[in-house]
Amino acid sequence: MLLEIPGVLDAQKLAQARALIERGRFVDGRLSAGKTAARVKHNEELKSDARLMESLNSLVMGALLQHPLFQAAAMPCRVATPYYARYTTGMSYGDHVDDPVMGPPGGQYRSDVSTTLFLNEPDDYAGGELVIDTTYGEQQVKPAAGSAVIYPSSSLHHINEVTSGERLVAVTWSQSMLRDPDKRELVFQLYQARESLLESQPESATATRVDHAYVNLVRMWSEL
């Protein structure tokens, strides 16, 4: 499932996030990459003091984790501390699949869902599209600032070369209660139908049946 979630960060939070980022410094993104990714990764990542990163993560991840669509689609049980990546002219990230297990020893988690949160407007840079290989072919995404895009971490994907300007994003990964991406997509579709029925026909027998089916399907498939 490839899903765009608009408006995760509003204009005020975006401005605050960018102000915090401007106080930090960027280093070669290959320093955090595995052997395979390092060959195709050409970007920069924010490196700063713990207090600044704590403030930035609280702002960005607080908004993401509280968003109902993110919770419903990703169904996260563990969420990684994000990376803040910058792409300037000539930078890109070639085809790759995200590492299946991430985190330090003792704090490892399985990467099921990848999330990119866009921190500046698409008009701020040329190129830089996130391109994801799906069952329907390659899908290119370059949404408005404040939007998040989620997709299975098992998907082959790349970042097109930035030909001018600067692309600024936060990237994180989640271990989901529903490991199988097809099950996650099916449950999310049922969630959407349930929400629509509970809004339009909250007292109907159909809404009650769909609600029960959703709840019990999550209970049947969740891994906790």
Same domain, 28 and 83: yes
Q: Which residues contact 166 (CB under 8 A, 6 or more apart)?
A: 86, 87, 88, 120, 124, 125
Same domain, 115 and 186: no
Distance CA 221, CA 224 (A): 10
Cβ(155)–Cβ(133) under 8 Å? yes
Cβ(45)–Cβ(86) under 8 Å? yes
The average pLDDT across 52-75 equals 97
10 Å Cβ neighbour count for 39?
12
In Å, what is the CA distance from 219 to each residue of 79, 126, 189, 196, 224? 20, 45, 16, 21, 10
Same domain, 201 and 171: no
CATH of the domain at 77: 2.60.120.620
**Confidence check: pLDDT of 33 > 80:** no
In Å, what is the CA distance from 126 to each residue of 46, 130, 139, 144? 21, 12, 17, 14
In the numeric block, which tokens belong to residue 10?
A: 């509003």
Q: Taking each helix axis from N to C terminus, what angle separates 181-200 and 205-221, rounded to the nearest 10 degrees?
A: 160
Q: Work out how many domains the chain is built from and give that number.
A: 2
Same domain, 94 and 199: no
Q: What is the bridge-based pairing of β-strands 83-87 and 3-5?
A: unpaired
**Confidence check: pLDDT of 30 > 90:** no
Same domain, 118 and 42: yes
- The predicted structure's pLDDT at residue 74: 98
In terms of Cβ atoms closer than 10 Å to its own Cβ (0-12, 13-18, 19+), residue 64 is buried
Of 89, 161, 165, nearest to 124 (Cα)? 165
Q: Where are the alpha helices (DSSP H) in 34-180?
A: 35-38, 50-65, 68-74
* Whole-structure pTM value: 0.93
Same domain, 41 and 142: yes
In Å, what is the CA distance from 90 to each residue of 33, 102, 169, 171? 19, 28, 16, 20
- The predicted structure's pLDDT at residue 37: 74
**Confidence check: pLDDT of 219 > 90:** yes
- The predicted structure's pLDDT at residue 23: 94
Q: Tens of pLDDT along 139-155?
A: 999 999 999 999 999 99
Same domain, 166 and 208: no
Q: Tens of pLDDT along 175-217?
A: 999 999 999 999 999 999 999 999 999 999 999 999 999 999 9
Same domain, 29 and 61: yes
- Domain enclosing residue 137, as ranges: 3-176
Give phi and psi for 125, each to the nearest 5: -155, 150
